[in-house]
Amino acid sequence: MTRVIITAIGSAGDVHPLLGIGAALAARGHEIVFCTHPPFAEAARRQGFTFVPIGTAEEYAAAMANPALWHPRTSFRTLWAVIAPTLRPHFDTLAALTDDDTVLVGTLWAFSARLMQELYRVPFVSVQVSPSTLLSAHAPPTHPRLTIPRGLPLAVKVALMRLIERYALDKVCGPALNALRGELGLAPAKRIFGQWLHSTDGVLCLFPEWFAQPQPDWPAPYRASGFPLFNDTSAQAIDAGLDAFLDSGERPVVFTAGSTLVDHAKYEAAVRAAPLERGLRGILLTPDAPSAEASTPQADAQFALLKRRYVPLQALLPRCRALVHHGGIGTAALAYEAGIPQVVTPFAHDQFDNAQRVAASGCGVRLDDPLQPRALARALGHVLGNPSIALQCVRMQDRLAASPDGCEAAARYIEGFMPGGVREQYVTHQPVSKLLPALANSGQRA
Same domain, yes or no: 177 and 198: yes
Longest dimension (CA), the chain: 69
Residue at 445 is within a domain:
no
Q: Is the peptide bond before 297 cis (omega within 30 degrees of 0)?
A: no
Torsion from C-alpha of 342, 345, 349, 350, nearest 10 degrees: 20
Residue at 186 is within a domain:
yes
Looking at residue 401, its pLDDT comes to: 94
In the sheet with 253-256, reading across from the earlier edge strand, the strands are 305-308, 282-285, 253-256, 322-325, 342-344, 364-366
Same domain, yes or no: 136 and 78: yes
Under 8 Å between Cβ of 227 and 206: yes
> CA 10, CA 15: separation in Å to the nearest integer?
7
Same domain, yes or no: 362 and 275: yes
The segments of the chain whose pLDDT lies below 70 read 231-236, 259-261, 278, 291-303, 420-446
> CA 361, CA 338: separation in Å to the nearest integer?
15
Cβ neighbors of 333 (< 8 A, separation 6 or more) are: 207, 227, 229
Same domain, yes or no: 204 and 244: no
Q: How many CB atoms lie within 10 A of CB 331?
A: 23
Helix ranges restricted to H, 134-250: 154-164, 171-183, 240-247
Same domain, yes or no: 85 and 223: yes
Looking at residue 71, its pLDDT comes to: 81
Same domain, yes or no: 124 and 254: no
Residue pLDDT, tens place only, 233-279: 555 677 888 999 999 888 999 999 876 667 778 888 888 888 777 67
- For residue 48, the enclosing domain spans 3-229+405-435
Domain total of the chain: 2
> CA 342, CA 340: separation in Å to the nearest integer?
7
Up-side HSE of residue 45: CA atoms within 13 Å toward CB?
Answer: 9
Residue at 442 is within a domain:
no
Residue at 440 is within a domain:
no
Cβ neighbors of 408 (< 8 A, separation 6 or more) are: 24
CATH of the domain at 373: 3.40.50.2000
Looking at residue 423, its pLDDT comes to: 54
Looking at residue 74, its pLDDT comes to: 86
Residue at 28 is within a domain:
yes
Same domain, yes or no: 72 and 140: yes
3-state secondary structure 368-405: CCCCCHHHHHHHHHHHHHCHHHHHHHHHHHHHHHHCCC
Same domain, yes or no: 327 and 223: no
Looking at residue 436, its pLDDT comes to: 29
Same domain, yes or no: 179 and 110: yes
Looking at residue 254, its pLDDT comes to: 95
> CA 12, CA 9: separation in Å to the nearest integer?
9
The verdict on pTM exceeding 0.85 is yes
Same domain, yes or no: 168 and 206: yes
Same domain, yes or no: 260 and 393: yes
Looking at residue 295, its pLDDT comes to: 61
Same domain, yes or no: 213 and 90: yes
